[in-house]
Amino acid sequence: MGSTSDSSIKVLNKEDEEALIGQVEIWEQMCSFTDSVALKSAVELRIADIINRYDHPIPLSKIVKNIENAPSPDISLLQRIMRVLVRRKIFSAEKSESNGETLFGLTRASKWILLDGTNMTLAPMLLLENHPLHLSPCHYVSDIIREGTKNGTAFFRCHGHEQFEMTGLDPEYNKLFNEGMVCTARIVSQAVISGYKDGFNKIQTLVDVGGGIGGSLSEIVRAYPHIKAINFDLPHVIATAPEYDGITHVGGDMFVSIPNADAVYMKWILHDWSDEHCIKILKNCRKAIPEKTGKVIIVDHILEPEGTELFSNTGFAFDMMLLAHNAGGKERTEENWKWLFKETGFPHYNIIKIKALPSIIEAFPI
């Protein structure tokens, strides 16, 4: 019988050990994209949903039988995907006491990639972030570091259009993009409503700038039905927005003007834009709200260079995605936010941590 041992590692001198560990670290980073490949495959095949329908762990044979549009499924290939996802704790694996088969079950992680019968899912966002349109610009990052973005972002160099132009030109991408935004809006909105407590109570009118098709705003209005709300976004986005009670959809350009309201709400908007663009947006926000009682409610991540909190690493990953996708978009530290507020007439701000990737940042004109 064969055997393996890593005892040779234990007798390495310190210099050789450090070199070996460094090599391992590079290999792991080099291949880390394969985790997303496996996870995307599981979502597209609806593996989590298949297991969930049985309400208990099931063998690979049952999973394969329930995969839709699979005329000749290869169970050996699926087994390799599941092996990776079990190792990453996306699914669980246990031996059947009756026949020794491996039974695959859900974990706390795989419950977030369900698509059937749940609104609280990250599956659409996962499909968006792993779509070729989103991944391909990453191959142009070194180019924009060398040359800057005067000739376009990495996204533009790859596709010939900037990201937000693409949503207006490609209906399929626009749908994928909106579905990704809607699913995260539900998750973040729930955390905002729970964590903001009395923040919305005194607001009579609220405008959601860059509100997409209104999913995030509808959650707020449902929790605070006294609010008269405006969902404000580009005309081609508003054109696909469904009707919601208490919400008026308005098409326009946030760089030109913003509808007047007691407060402005922006979820994951400012991180898409450069400081220069953010200054224009925030100045328009200041014009739209009352001088003495108005406020801007920003829901965005606060990057902490030495952070060790639950979402700290995800914040850095988002910053890398913004580097590839947007014209100057970036995640910001608290000092970055403070500087923006100072430049745009918001001398006071308040940060509220919530149970989500972003935080709430209140900015006040006095």
| DSSP, residue by residue, 64-96 | HHT-TT-SS--HHHHHHHHHHHHHTTSEEEEE-
Q: Which pLDDT tens digit goes with each residue over 286-328? A: 999 999 999 999 999 999 999 899 999 999 999 999 999 987 8
Q: Which pLDDT tens digit goes with each residue over 10-58? A: 667 999 999 999 999 999 999 999 999 999 999 999 999 999 999 999 9
Nearest to residue 172, comparing CAs of 128, 138, 125, 211?
A: 128
Rounded to an integer, the average pLDDT of 3-15 is 68
Nearest to residue 188, comparing CAs of 164, 212, 162?
A: 212
Phi, psi of 363 (to 5 degrees): -120, 130
Cα 280–Cα 158–Cα 320 angle in degrees, nearest 5: 60
- Predicted pLDDT at 186: 86
Q: What is the 3-state secondary structure (H, E, C) of 341-359?
A: HHHHCCCEEEEECCCCCCE
Query: Which sequence positions are flagged as catalytic?
Result: 271
State the average pLDDT for the chain.
Answer: 93
Confidence of residue 7 (pLDDT cuts 50, 70, 90): low
Domains of the chain: 33-113 (1.10.10.10), 123-364 (3.40.50.150)
Q: Which pLDDT tens digit goes with each residue over 145-170? A: 999 998 899 999 999 999 888 988 88
> How crowded is the C-beta side of 264, counted as CA atoms within 13 Å?
28
Nearest to residue 62, comparing CAs of 54, 100, 43, 40?
A: 54
Q: Are 144 and 157 in contact (CB under 8 A)?
A: yes
Nearest to residue 325, comparing CAs of 180, 137, 128?
A: 137
